[in-house]
A = this chain, B = another copy of it.
Amino acid sequence: MSDFVIDHGRKDRLSFPEIIFGATKSVEVLTKILKDYQAKGENALVTKLQGDKAKQLQEVYSDAFYDVDSGVFILHPLSGSGRSKEVAILSAGSSDIHVVNEIFYTLSFMGVGAEKINDVGVAGVHRLLDRLDELKTYKIIIVVAGFEGALPSVVGGLLPQPIIAVPSDVGYGVAEGGKVALHAMLSSCANGIAVMNINNGFGAAMASFRILQLING
């Protein structure tokens, strides 16, 4: 049986703690790891956790938060009310909610406020244009899209802020699994679009945190 060596020094080096990838760990392993965090008095974030495993963990940690759409699990949920909203999370439609919510709740865990803006897909570009003034008020724009992943290209040509693009795995045929959206975002003719792995909403939140930390000190 393996003994775990959690990188508790990471917070000192990076200002953010080690995060737990939940998808491939057993409930037994997760329980041990969470105990270790609890013993150290630290909060913990588990990502991509399946519903049945979350249910078992919540029996042990009854005040833990779990979002069924994204699989985000937070040991000690924090109130986000009153936070200023520094990040806008744009998406083309309600199908990308699993990625949008992973971004939203990871930012929440890191103490960052965010606004979800759905249904601004490129096939009805006026919906995006109508909200430009509002969008200019956020510090960072995260764009989630599946299928052909065109939204970051349009957004990147309209807004000057840091833009982080996250491909989702929504699509069928050649778009199945999200590679088309990923490749389209990497190939964007808009300048300076930074891209994350497919469904890596967590990474987009952390990249935002790295930037905000630079600004906010």
Contact = CB atoms under 8 A, between A and B. Distances in A.
B203 A187 contact: no
A163 interface: yes
Interface residues of A, number: 101
A14 B125 CA distance: 13
Interface in A186-217: 186-200, 202-211, 213-215
Contact of A197 (B3, B156, B158, B175): B175
B194 A186 contact: no
Contacts of A182: 173-174, 186
A192 B180 contact: no
A1 to B, nearest CB: 9
A184 B148 CA distance: 4
A14 B160 contact: yes
Interface string A106-130: 0000000000101111111111010
Nearest to A141: B210
A148 B157 contact: no
A161 B13 CA distance: 10
A51 B23 CA distance: 20
